[in-house]
Amino acid sequence: MAMKDLKAVPEELTFIVSDPKGWELGFVRDVDSVDLDLGDTNDFELQIDASIWSPERYSWRNRIYIPGTEYGGLLEEQQTSTKDNRITWRGYTWRGLLSQKLIYPPEGQTHLTVSGDANTIIQDILGNRFGSLFCAETKESGIQIKNFQFDRYCSVLSGLEKMLAAKNARLQIVYRQGNPGEYGGQVVVGAVPVTDWSEELECSQDGKMHFTTKDSRMGINHLVCAGEGEGIERKILHLYVQKDGSIGQTQYYNGLDEREALYSYTSVEDDAKLLEEGTARLRELMNYKQMDATISDVDVEIGDIVGGRDRITGMSLQKPIVNKILRMNNGIPFVEYKLKGEE
């Protein structure tokens, strides 16, 4: 496989602050620290010495961002400490704002179902929910969606992530500046294929990277799914974990090796839905391997895949990045990544 262009974390990452309409007010160099979380809490915090705080630069709904990246968000919560002489601003990141809007089913229908190019669907979902702040990537993604059904009243973020995950793709979110001297920077949301960095980037003792591993074999491997109905009329579905970790309806583990649990989902009427929800629940309960890693010298995105190998136990995993945390103290950046635990 050809080597990919694995980017290093830039030595200098500088935020810009703008007013609510995108008029840029300058670089953010007068703050003590920035802590920005992507993929978990999807929020940020910046701390400023009260003696140098500027109410014009740091005010309600002002934007902070690093152009060309996902790092950024809106200032929406202020806290002042007279004891520490410090002002703290907090807000949601762009990804966090996507989690604050819901996808509604069309009138008279139970679910929204979509087909077409992923970027066109993203544009339809965004609509004017965020005014002019958010827009979809105008170029076609090449990722074709066919009859994808969103969960009822899911968030825009979770809905789009689930839609793209089914196509081995991910959301790409970047802030693009407007023309110099003009309003109009925008958060651009698009769909891109997941990149597998596992051959170029492997977290192991060889690489001097810090990580922890867990191999849990205490999980459930037989889930009794109970749906709608009463007594002998109640829908019952048996799901079993197979030797290769897949889930089916044929029993593999028996005797001492069998671990059972009940999943009661009385509101489901459809057999297919009971199968879908039961499978998702069993994945949460079954045996799993997990690796948490901190990777400090490369730049990869949420959803992309990296590899991990534990020389001590021999455990090896390829997992997507699910959490990306940017911390800056006195202008010095540090980016921490966390991998998804296999459920």
Longest alpha-carbon distance in the chain: 73
CA 85/CA 279 separation, integer angstroms? 52
Examine residue 209 and state whether it is found in any structural domain, yes or no. no
Residue 110 scores a pLDDT above 60: yes
Verify that 56 and 85 share a domain, yes or no.
yes
Examine residue 298 and state whether it is found in any structural domain, yes or no. no
Query: Cβ(190)–Cβ(136) under 8 Å?
Result: yes
> Which of 94, 121, 142 is the C-terminal boundary of a domain?
94
Return the structure tokens found at 91: 């807000």
Examine residue 4 and state whether it is found in any structural domain, yes or no. no
Examine residue 311 and state whether it is found in any structural domain, yes or no. no
The confidence score (pLDDT) of residue 12 equals 60
Q: What CATH number is associated with residue 149?
A: 3.55.50
Verify that 62 and 119 share a domain, yes or no.
no
Mean pLDDT computed over every residue of the chain: 86
Query: Cβ(92)–Cβ(187) under 8 Å?
Result: no
Examine residue 133 and state whether it is found in any structural domain, yes or no. yes
Highest mean pLDDT: which range of 25-34, 66-75, 192-201: 66-75
- Lowest average pLDDT, out of 9-23, 94-108, 289-303, goes to 289-303
Verify that 235 and 254 share a domain, yes or no.
yes
Q: How far is the CA of 135 from the CAs of 139, 145, 148, 254, 338, in angstroms?
A: 12, 19, 21, 53, 28
Verify that 134 and 90 share a domain, yes or no.
no
Cα–Cα nearest to 295, from 321, 315, 314: 321
Q: Using the 8-state DSSP alphabet, how is residue 310 labeled?
A: -
Cα–Cα nearest to 299, from 23, 49, 68: 68
Examine residue 337 and state whether it is found in any structural domain, yes or no. no
The confidence score (pLDDT) of residue 343 equals 36
Q: How far is the CA of 9 from the CAs of 39, 186, 254, 314, in angstroms?
A: 18, 23, 50, 29
> Which of 94, 109, 143 is the C-terminal boundary of a domain?
94
Q: Using the 8-state DSSP alphabet, how is residue 88 labeled?
A: E
Verify that 177 and 120 share a domain, yes or no.
yes
Go through 271-305 and write b for each residue having 16 or more CB atoms within 10 A of its CB, e for each that does not: eeebbebbbebbbebbbbbbbbbbbeeeebbbbbb
Verify that 112 and 85 share a domain, yes or no.
no
Higher pLDDT: 224 or 317? It is 224
Verify that 83 and 116 share a domain, yes or no.
no
pLDDT digits (tens, 9 = 90+) for 247-274: 999 999 999 999 999 999 887 778 888 9
How large is the average pLDDT for residues 237-243?
A: 96
Examine residue 125 and state whether it is found in any structural domain, yes or no. yes
Query: Cβ(143)–Cβ(117) under 8 Å?
Result: yes
Verify that 181 and 259 share a domain, yes or no.
no
The confidence score (pLDDT) of residue 206 equals 47
Q: How many domains does the chain divide into?
A: 3
CA 270/CA 272 separation, integer angstroms? 5
Higher pLDDT: 341 or 168? It is 168
CA 279/CA 223 separation, integer angstroms? 9
The confidence score (pLDDT) of residue 2 equals 35
Q: How many CB atoms lie within 10 A of CB 243?
A: 7
The confidence score (pLDDT) of residue 154 equals 95
Residue 68 φ/ψ region, left for φ over 0, alpha for ψ in the -120 to 50 degree band, beta for the rest: left
- Lowest average pLDDT, out of 21-30, 79-88, 329-338, goes to 329-338
Verify that 48 and 111 share a domain, yes or no.
no
Binned at pLDDT 50, 70 and 90, residue 280 comes out as: very high
Query: Cβ(197)–Cβ(306) under 8 Å?
Result: yes
The full 3-state SS of 53-75, as one line of letters, equals: CCCCCCCCCCEEECCCCCCEEEC
Verify that 115 and 183 share a domain, yes or no.
yes
Return the structure tokens found at 206: 């060889």
Examine residue 332 and state whether it is found in any structural domain, yes or no. no
Verify that 84 and 105 share a domain, yes or no.
no
Binned at pLDDT 50, 70 and 90, residue 136 comes out as: very high
Judge if pTM exceeds 0.85: no
Enclosing domain of residue 138: 101-193
Verify that 251 and 168 share a domain, yes or no.
no
